[in-house]
Each structure stands twice: as structure tokens, then as C-alpha cells.
Amino acid sequence: MHLHLVKLLAGTILLATSLGCAKPPQNQSSSGNTVTATPTAIETISQSTTTKPATKTAFISIEGEKTPVTLRLYDQSRDLFTTYFPEKDFLAEGGSSGEGTGARFIANFGGKKNENVYVHLAFLNNFKTLGQLRSFVNAKNGLIASNGWRIVSRTQTAPYRWAKEKIVFSKGKNIVGNLYLGQQNGKSFYVITHYPVEYGDGFPPRADLILQNLQVNR
């Protein structure tokens, strides 16, 4: 359904996924990571983006030891959404077209860009409701099928106030990720986290900072 729309938008906001194998970066965290942010990661919906600081500090806890992480404000599409991302660990790319607006945060651990490891946000103009978005995602030729993902699990319980459904997926033996269906302030959108299994310790807690801080504006 509407696969042509996705292909058109992909050229601008990099929807297409790269499926090459990747080596884990040397500075990845060990298992058991937890994340906290200062100030609080969830901003109030009515807060003006003009009041947001350009940077702020979060902490990733590695085996009980907190490590500070500097977060950079992403406001290229500030009229639609803002978020923060770990500036030393990700490269931010974004854009808009007649099909929609989106952003991609590509892993850059240790200064090595890996386009197979990313967080992707997409606001497609043709999908105004959560029902329309679900139909597109689950259609025979929709987002899941066109990417060759296998659904591992689904739940309507997600750790973000904007997330209405979480779909865990895999592809082959190496690629895993999550697909979130979101809705906030009258806007429907989806978010993808995508990474090889060997990035399972270092990538998810850093990606979580991006998703915690996501604010969709009115």
C-alpha cells in the first residue's frame, strides 16, 4: 500500500535500510546499561522550542558507574518535532519533501559512521490517523513486508508517551530492531531503531535517549 510514496520519500529522508554486516565499535557499553537524563528527558508538550538549550547532559550507567553523555538539540524541523541525540555517537541527517518530513540518526561510534545502525523518524503527509499508519505498516506491500522484516512480537505497551504500538522485528540472523507507531498532538508517525545484534549493548541505551526526548509540536 502506497509503496511508491515510501520510495519517493526515501530519497529525501533515507528510509531505505542498508543490510551490510558491521563490526561492534570499541567504545560500546557492556550489558546492563541504564539511562538517565538531566534535565528530565520528557519535555512538556506546550514548551516552546525556543526555550530549549542547545545541549544538555544525560548519563548512561555502565555496571553501576554513571558516564556523562552530551546531548545535542535536533530542531531542523522544529515546527513539527524536536529531540536530543548523543552528539559524539550519532550523525543527524534530515529533510522534507512533498511526501513528508523525517530524520535519521546514524551511529558514528568512535568516529566510524555505520549506516546499518540508526534511529529513523518519519512523518508521512498521506497518513493522518493511527489507523491509516497501521494499514500502511501491515499491508501486503507495506513497510514491514517491503523491508523483509519478520515480526517477533507486538505490544501496545511502550515506554514513551507518544508510542501507541511497539513491533519488535528481525531480518536474517544478524539484524534486529523496533518499529514504533506514534501519535501525538494530532500527528501520526513511525520510528525505527535498526542495528546488528552485536550492537545490542551499546546502541539501545543511546537510541533510547533520542526517543525519550522526542517532542511532537502542535
**pLDDT per residue as tens digits for the range 142-160:** 999 999 999 999 999 999 9
**Per-domain residue ranges for the chain?**
3-216
- Summarised one tens digit per residue, pLDDT across range 23-69 is 333 334 333 444 444 433 333 334 444 689 999 999 986 667 788 99
pLDDT value for 201: 86
Cell of 185: 498532538
| Identity at 66, one-letter amino acid code | K
Distances (CA, A) of 213 to 3, 28, 217: 30, 21, 12
Q: With bands split at pLDDT 50, 70 and 90, how would you rate the model's confidence at 19?
A: very low
Nearest-angstrom CA–CA distance, 65 and 76: 33
Q: Which fold has domain 3-216?
A: Protein Transport Mog1p; Chain A (3.40.1000)
Cα-Cα-Cα-Cα dihedral of 54, 181, 199, 202, to 10°? 40
pLDDT value for 62: 62
Task: From 136, 90, 125, 138, select the one nearest 110 (Cα to Cα).
Answer: 90
- Summarised one tens digit per residue, pLDDT across range 85-137 is 999 999 999 999 999 999 999 999 999 999 999 999 999 999 999 999 999 99
Give yes or no for residue 2 having a pLDDT over 80.
Answer: no
